[in-house]
Chains A and B, each alone.
Chain A
Amino acid sequence: MAYVAEPLDQQPFPSHIRLMTKLSKIRNFSIVAHIDHGKSTLADRLIQETGTVEDRDMKEQLLDSMDIERERGITIKANTVRIEFKAADGETYILNLIDTPGHVDFAYEVSRSMRAVEGSLLVVDSTQGVEAQTLANVYHAIEADHEIVPVLNKIDLPASDCDRVAEQIEDVIGIDATGALQVSAKTGQGIRETLQSVVDDLPAPEGDIDAPLKAMLVDSWYDAYLGVIVLVRIMDGTLKKGQRVKFMSNNTLHSVDRVGVFRPEMEMVDSLGPGEIGFLTASIKQVRDTRVGDTITNDRNGTTEALPGFKPAQPVVFCGLFPVDSSEFEDLRDAIDKLALNDASFSFEMETSAALGFGFRCGFLGLLHLEVIRDRIEREYNIELITTAPSVIYHIYMKAKEGEEPEMIELHNPADMPDMSKVDHLEEPRIKATILVPDEYLGDVLKLCQDRRGIQEDLTYAGTRAMVVYDLPLNEVVFDFYDRLKSVTKGYASFDYQMIGYREDQLVKMSVLVNDEPVDALSTMVHRDRAEQRGRAMCEKLKDLIPRHMFKIPIQAAIGGKVIARETLSALRKDVTAKCYGGDATRKKKLLEKQKAGKKKMRQFGRVDIPQEAFISALKMDD
């Protein structure tokens, strides 16, 4: 089977792909690792070693394509690259690497990408050892039946301890690590051996070239020039330019405009065969029209058997995004529309807040996802935002008539909480959290989990590290749990979680009144037993966050009509320039402009100006 590369007009370099790829000459793999253990650096080295990218085009963290990814040093979208490697047997192999996000928010993206490949490199920092995300990600790999090759990275560092870490991998994960590769992604040591091991130790893909096309839709995103780009893994048959294909989940038909591979720049090819990973474009306008996990086949005589379907990603954290300058609402709508085109896991609906005016209630996969989207709106679209307290989805069961089932309502926004007298009971989402932490911080971690209404499920040791498993309410975690965990363990703990379902608990809506007016954007759901403590903490926080005004301001927390905590922000008493003569008019004018601008950055509630950051900061607990 011959695949002939067809260079795009705008391609600066002539394509050099001449594929004669038998299944036995293909290896598909991903890299799983805890954050900062060197996944992106290793990927860079693999790309460089095989000459896929000219040295002069080499930049760091090649596969992290978004600015935000590069800046934060995290991978948030799955990325892929096709590299050619001349192995010890003299044969050239096609290696397709899918780089997956390491962060818990994107666990779903990880798991679906895993199904498109046959093996994984398990990268563990040999100075650190196994961490929570190592575990979480390796379980995805195991679930996807991967062959797993352990790679001990950062052996150039003096603190590297390969024996200890290999032993730990065996103990904690239960895979053989005796022959683990020893690598420095920094110096390049062990890189060729790693490539050779991909060829030797990972299985070749299987597939039938003569069967009807069966391809997995691995991911998709929007490109301003090409429209929606669909990342595919061919299982059976071939995918060609010009072919008519069907997306089986919704029976939509598309005509394939382009077929190509990533090296990691896009490069056009005529067709892709079984075992290969590449992309197609088909004049698709919206990412929403493509469902991750879908099966793509021929429009006629296609396969009847779809791949086991994937569930779509569900947002779990919700918050309101409002423009600081209310005249920018339409710009915000535009920005959100555009971002949603490229991110099917992000949901939004319009929201009106008495306090903040028009905005959007948005759903995210987690807090990191929230921050990334918010940063992008602020940065790429230049809109300053007020972000309201993140909330999870509560299930509210309304009181029912005799003999009827109670009706369940999903509550995405505490401000929408119905009157308690009509509510039968509430359920909240819970998670199973896995935390790995050095011994000496264990006490602090247990206290933190306990404070957050956690139920301990397991506590084991791996060397000097403890592994605790807790059943925790998600609402106690979405907010600042991770920050607190990092701070009480000086950054030495690692954390991962998965959703485990809903459970009933005594939850109430706590409202906040500033200068006797309720501020809906500050309402939160809290556990009844914690309400008072939480209310006090919030009032104290707000007292620090709201600048003093010319009058005193009562700040109260209340449940229903009952005030449970109260603070008073005393009046500003002195703010005047002592000396002001002729020469000071100009200077004073600048000060005035600054003050006026500062005022505009705040939101008015009655006569009180609340700074935008207060809506989030008020909820942070520094216990």
Chain B
Amino acid sequence: MAEDWQNGGFGLYIHWPFCQAKCPYCDFNSHVSREIDQSRWLRAYLSELDRVGSLTKGRVLNSVFFGGGTPSLMDPDVVAQIIERIRATWPTANDLEITLEANPGSVEAGRFAAYRQGGVSRVSMGIQALNDRDLQRLGRIHSVDEAKAAFDIARKSFDRVSFDLIYARQDQTLNDWQTELREALSMAIDHLSLYQLTIETGTAFGDRYAKGKLRGLPEDDLAADMYQATGDICIEAGLEGYEVSNYAKPGSESIHNKIYWRYGDYAGIGPGAHARLTLNGQRHAIECWRNPDRWLQAVDTGNGENVKNPILLTDQADEMMMMGLRLRDGVDLKRWENLSGRPLNPTTLAHLQDIGMIRQSGDLLIATQDGRMVLNTLLAEILVE
């Protein structure tokens, strides 16, 4: 029997926890720090690579993702040395994808060629908005012009450049967004990530929202209309929504992110990095120390991991469904049943099919576009015993 993780592939996530400024909506593990000893960080990453490498010897690596924070603040040389070590540690797939998240400021723009040189094959840029007023309200430190310039430089170095936009912003109308999205599509190469603004607790927006001071956010109905329009407009431009918030030309989907959604195995290195790793046949959930200094210290004493738990098969089944229904291509029910040891409730499925939330095609369970819009509710309905 093929090991479970092989269904989804094997990827490596590397977290860089620093940014130039903290955005008010962001709850990622990102910090603003004046002095960063890049050589110390390099040593730590390499040490972790060696440790994780010895646990996962011989596995074929499909992708690497430098995420953040703002990995485009890493010295290109640090990135290059990490990639070199990765290649020395695992056999890699022919189409190995190495993505680096970049902020579209002038600082970064100058580094793209060097990243390319070091082995990065794909860049994902956080452009977020195509008008300066909204960029400001999102607390971004770049302008639209800077972002466009950075994007143009990036595409000279890379065949694959994706960018992110955040929509359903304060005071944004459906029409505003449609216009902005069309402009984005005219720039786009083959991939876009389009996220609706999420108010996370513990962020500046979260606090403002709790006090009732974050006004003009769209009601659910408008947000739903925006989401629907997003899918429609992207299709016209040849980009298909292959995941809840991700749109690509066929064949240009992000290999790395698909590992997550197909519930494959992924190692995680860096502060707060998560992993799902099969070790000696048992799948584990792993989390590294979140605080950057704490993580460095832990790595110094040999291991950056903070939490490492075996995952119950039934929990694996839940996680697989949660991630998999995000994909346009759905979830393999046989694989799900193998994990959970039970079939899904057929009356529930019949009802959900009746109301147009799901469809089944062979062994695949697929959430329709309507279903994906209410995925959290849908999941609770499907998975409650």
Contacts and interface: CB of A to CB of B under 8 A. Distances in A.
Nearest to A570: B221
B266 A576 contact: no
Nearest to A549: B377
B304 interface: no
B107 interface: no
B42 interface: no
A592 B323 contact: no
A572 B220 CA distance: 8
A575 B378 CA distance: 9
B195 A579 contact: yes
A300 interface: no
Contact of B378 (A550, A578, A588, A596): A550
Interface string A571-584: 01111111111110
B158 to A, nearest CB: 21
Interface residues of B, number: 49
Contacts of A577: 198, 244, 375-376
A595 B380 contact: yes
Given A575-B375, A595-B379, A599-B380, A580 B323 contact: yes
Given A582-B275, A586-B287, A576 B221 contact: no
Contact of A574 (B223, B268, B315, B322): B223
Interface string B238-252: 000000110000000
A311 interface: no
A589 B318 contact: yes
A224 interface: no
Contact of A607 (B197, B351, B375): B351
B274 A586 contact: yes
Given A572-B374, A589-B315, A591-B376, A578 B381 contact: no
A589 B380 CA distance: 11
A585 interface: yes
A581 B372 contact: no
B129 interface: no
A589 B220 CA distance: 23
A428 to B, nearest CB: 42
A378 to B, nearest CB: 24
Interface in B330-385: 351-352, 355, 357, 371-381, 383-384
A588 B324 CA distance: 13
- Quick one: which of B67, B276, B322, B378 has the most chain A CB within 10 A? B322
A447 B355 CA distance: 47
A586 B308 CA distance: 12
A576 B369 CA distance: 12
Nearest to B315: A589
Contact of B195 (A549, A578, A595, A598): A578
B384 A600 contact: yes
B322 A585 contact: yes
A596 B224 contact: no
Contacts of A591: 376
Given A551-B355, A579-B195, A585 B260 contact: yes
Contacts of B272: 583
B123 interface: no
Contacts of B223: 573-574
B92 interface: no
Nearest to A582: B260
Contact of B377 (A575, A581, A583, A585): A575
Contacts of B220: 572-575
A581 to B, nearest CB: 6
Interface string B49-78: 000000000000000000100000000000
B227 interface: yes
B198 A578 contact: yes
Contacts of B266: 582
Contacts of B287: 586
Given A573-B220, A582-B268, A595-B380, A550 B198 contact: no
Contacts of B380: 592, 595-596, 598-599
A573 B221 contact: yes
Given A582-B266, A585-B274, A576 B375 contact: yes
B376 A576 contact: yes
- Quick one: which of B67, B352, B380 has the most chain A CB within 10 A? B380
A542 to B, nearest CB: 19
B245 A579 contact: yes
A580 B371 CA distance: 16
A477 B278 CA distance: 64
B109 to A, nearest CB: 25
B135 interface: no
A574 B381 CA distance: 15
Nearest to B261: A580
B285 interface: yes
A448 B266 CA distance: 66
Given A574-B220, A578-B245, A586-B274, A595 B319 contact: no
Given A578-B195, A595-B376, A599-B380, A588 B257 contact: no
B383 A592 contact: yes
B196 interface: yes
A572 B374 CA distance: 7
Nearest to A580: B326
B276 A585 contact: yes
A7 B202 CA distance: 62
Contacts of A586: 274, 285, 287
A573 B196 CA distance: 14
B244 A578 contact: yes
Contact of A579 (B198, B357, B381): B198
B269 to A, nearest CB: 12
A553 to B, nearest CB: 11
B227 A583 contact: no
B151 interface: no
Contacts of B377: 549-550, 572, 575, 595
B372 A576 contact: yes
Contacts of B351: 607
B322 A592 contact: yes
B57 to A, nearest CB: 21
B138 interface: no
Contacts of A599: 380-381, 384
Nearest to A594: B380
A585 B374 contact: no
B244 A576 contact: yes
Interface in B274-323: 274-276, 285, 287, 315, 318-319, 322-323
A598 B244 CA distance: 24
Interface string A521-555: 00000000000000000000000000001110000
B268 A550 contact: no
Nearest to A587: B274
Contacts of A580: 244, 260-261, 322-323, 326
B273 interface: yes
29 contacts: A550-B352, A550-B371, A550-B377, A550-B381, A572-B374, A572-B377, A573-B221, A573-B373, A573-B374, A574-B220, A574-B221, A574-B223, A575-B373, A576-B244, A576-B372, A576-B374, A577-B198, A578-B245, A579-B198, A581-B67, A581-B257, A583-B268, A583-B273, A583-B274, A585-B260, A585-B285, A592-B318, A595-B377, A595-B379
Given A586-B287, A592-B376, A595-B379, 5 more contacts: A549-B377, A574-B221, A574-B224, A574-B227, A589-B315
Q: Which 5 A-B pairs have the closest CB atoms?
A: A573-B224, A595-B380, A583-B274, A576-B375, A574-B224
